Structure 1
Amino acid sequence: MRFSEYMNEWLYGEDGYYASYRPIGKKGDFYTAVSTSKFFGGTIAKHIIARIDEGFLRSDSLICEIGAHHGYLLADIIEFIHTLRPQLLQTLRFGIVERFENLRIAQKSYFEESFGNAVSLEHYSDLSQLNEQSTFFIANEIFDAFACELFYKGKIARVENHEILFDIDDPKIAELAEKYKQDRGEIALGYESFASAMQQSSKRFEFMSFDYGELNGRSDFSIRVYQTHQTFPLFDEVLNRSEAFGKSDITYDVNFTHVKDAFAEAGIECAAYATQLVALIEMGILDLLAMLKEHAGDEIYTQELEKVKILITPALMGERFKMIRFVKE
């Protein structure tokens, strides 16, 4: 099978990595910004409120997370909206796009435990089910989870018994590789159809996503496997691919120019691209910390500050992760 089919089965097959609930954080395979600090979601909540105040988003907008895992990020956003502008909980709607039923059940259960009847959670299995007037979409580490082809000097990879062989000709993939000046590396699939589906899902929206990668594709392989906070390049001889298949996360660096091009093709403007450090500070994460210090005292403030430092310190998540934001008016 082609590598994209292999990766898709690894992540999304019946026994795939994302087909069942996997812990994230200390007990999982990796950390995310969401598992690091609630102030990640809190800062996004502050931005949503600002966009409502500016008149871009309606007060009855749908706030929708795509690929929400357990639902922690959306729940953090709701918690901070309740703190900063509680009356908006009476008008805003909240939803998750999630393809797996067992994850939808886990998300619904978590929201019921967290909010009782105060918040109603809407579920969609696909963006095509949405027909909204005003939406704020949020996703964390989504673009690195799209299946990709592996390209090497004019050939793409196929997989036999977990062995990777470069011997397939594919003119379309070769054309993309030439466009992004790659003689080897990952060529993501599905960005174009994702952007097109989002274009049709809402008359007006803002979509914000955080992921690791660069604005330009690198002519090298970044694809790797995460196992209990250890990283193994996919081609590492130490890695047993047959044992890791479906049980560990597989991911690669995002080429954000490819993402931008896919959305531009769908007629959607890229409004901002920045490091996570710059994005979170510009959206007001330090203002939220100052509010916490004023109302909660030094001890709690210091605890949360240490967590936020992980999000914004350049040597940690601050520079490695990027924020990209798209707007349809």
Structure 2
Amino acid sequence: MKNSSKNPLKFSDFFNSWLNEHYYKQGIYIGKKGDFYTSVSVGSLFGICIAKKILSLKDKFDGKISIVEIGANEGYLLADIVQGIYTFNSDALNDFEFCIIEPHEILRKKQLQTFKEKFGDEIEIRHFSILDEAKFNEAIFISNELFDTFSCEVVDRDKMLFIDNFIPKFEKIDNKTKELAKKYKITKGEIPINLDIFLKDIYNSCSKFSFITFDYGDIKAKGDFSLRVYKNHKVYNFFEIENLENFYGKSDITYDLNFGILKNEFLKFKDVKFENYSSQQKALLDFGAVDILDILLKKGGEIAYKNGASQLKRLIYPEELGTRFKMMEFSKGLK
């Protein structure tokens, strides 16, 4: 990817090209074989906890519910959710359909393969390439590490980041980015763009929904850069990389989510209700993680219990994923 020094790329365009035109388009792996781990990589307990949460919401809906994962990668999280629902209440599977929003063809194929391997022909996936084409009656939206993939601008007071032949340069901020920085009260750091369009698509996709997302970040701006690159499970400060071209499109680029921006943007829709914000640690415990361990002990014995307990430790302990990751929940039109 080359650009003329007379016309350097806005960072948001560079970021989008890196992830969507190259990295994710290649059908990358997450976990041991990839560049980074997520909570899904720990094991099935994360998805099983979400399944228990979903079942607790079921009575707030009136009809068949679409469980919709956005950014499913290989499809393991949604498969774990299906397995969790079956374990808790096999009859309840008939009350749901399972959907994935996925723009990348290679990843859609991987998701279908995951479901085929786990469920044969018993469970079907409805695929949608883009969100604004997806329409549901009632839905529960799930995402894990989604918003850190949204293109962003990077600002430092009166300057914004550009990329000139893989060299980062701060130059005069444009008016649009200046307004966003003012709106979000960010003087130094990353500013997600097109978040309002995404949330509008969620809002318009159905009359009733629950929206649950997990990501790393905080409720307010840090006042500093969080932009970084993961390659082979090593983390690199974006601004300290000397050979940026060697990482471009071949590794993960990410930044911390400002959950305060997400909350403020979603609540602009008058009938969207803010439900909860917490650490992943608290969220999974509130979802019923301890009760799930008891079920594992009764149904699977001591080995299953110890495996589940080991996963839970990694998911909730501060030195692992427990406090670095947060959960935010919204709803529309629920009883």
Q: TM-score, normalised by structure 2?
A: 0.94
Structure 1 partner of 2:138? 134
- Residue equivalent to 2:161: 157
Note if contact 1:195-1:266 (Cα within 8 Å) is conserved in structure 2: no
1:264 partnered with 2:267: yes
Contact 1:181/1:219 (8 A) holds in 2? no
Aligned residue among 269, 288, 292 for 1:288: 292
1:29 aligns with 2:32: no
* In structure 2, distance between residues paired with 1:183 and 1:129: 36
How far apart are the structure 2 equivalents of 1:80 and 1:57?
Answer: 19
> Deviations along 1:128-165, whole A, 9 cap, x unmatched?
22222210000000011101001012111111111111
Give the distance between the partners of 2:265 and 2:177, measured in 1 at CA: 15
Distance 1:246 1:308 in 2: 33
- Show the counterpart of 1:18: 24
Q: Which moved more, 1:172-181 or 1:216-225?
A: 172-181
Partner of 2:6: none
Q: Does residue 226 of structure 2 align to residue 226 of structure 1?
A: no
Q: Does 1:4 align with 2:12?
A: yes
Which residue does the alignment assign to 1:276? 280
Percent of paired sites with the same residue: 39
Matched position secondary structure for 2:33: coil
1:234 is displaced (CA, Å) by 0.4
Q: Which residue of 1 aligns with 2:110?
A: 106
1:325 aligns with 2:329: yes
What is the rounded CA distance, in whole Å, between the counterparts of 1:94 and 1:170 in structure 2?
Answer: 42
Q: Is the 8 A contact 2:227 2:255 kept in 1?
A: yes
CA deviations 1:12-69 (Å, max 9, x no partner) are 01xx1111221211221111001112111001101111111xx213451101100100
Superposed counterparts of 1:1-329, under 5 Å: 1-13=9-21, 16-52=22-58, 55-58=59-62, 60-237=64-241, 239-267=242-270, 268-329=272-333
Contact 2:219/2:258, CA 8 A, preserved across alignment: yes
Residue identity matched to 2:75? G
Structure 1 outlier segments of 4+, above 4 Å: none
Q: Are the equivalent residues in 2 in contact too, given 1:192–1:266 (CA < 8 A)? A: no
- Following TM superposition, by how much is the alpha carbon of 1:115 offset from its aligned partner in structure 2, in angstroms? 0.9
Q: What is the identity, as a one-letter code, of the residue corresponding to 2:123?
A: V
Counterpart CA distance in 1 for 2:174 and 2:194 is: 16
- What is the deviation of 1:266? 3.2
SS of the equivalent of 2:35 reads: coil
Distance (whole Å) between structure 1 residues aligned to residue 101 and residue 173 of structure 2: 35
> Match of 1:248, as an amino acid?
S
The amino acid of 1:48's aligned partner reads: I
Q: Secondary structure at the match of 1:273?
A: strand
- Asked if the contact 1:312/1:318 (under 8 Å) is kept, the reply is yes
Return the letter of the residue paired with 1:253. Answer: D
* Structure 1 residue matching 2:320: 3-state secondary structure: helix
3-state DSSP class of the match of 2:110? helix
Q: Which amino acid counterpart does residue 293 of structure 1 have in structure 2?
A: L
- SS of the residue aligned with 2:60? coil
- CA RMSD across the alignment: 1.3
Q: CA deviation at 1:183?
A: 2.1
For 2:206, give the aligned amino acid: S
Does 301-310 or 3-12 show the bigger shift? Answer: 301-310
Deviations, residues 172-208 of structure 1 (Å, cap 9, x unaligned): 3223323444321111112111100000001000010
In the aligned structure 1, how far is the partner of 2:51 from the partner of 2:36? 24
Aligned pairs, number: 324
Name structure 1 gaps, 5 residues minimum.
none
SS in 1 for 2:319: helix
- The answer (yes or no) to whether the contact 2:315–2:321 under 8 Å persists in 1 is yes
Deviates most, 308-317 or 296-305: 296-305
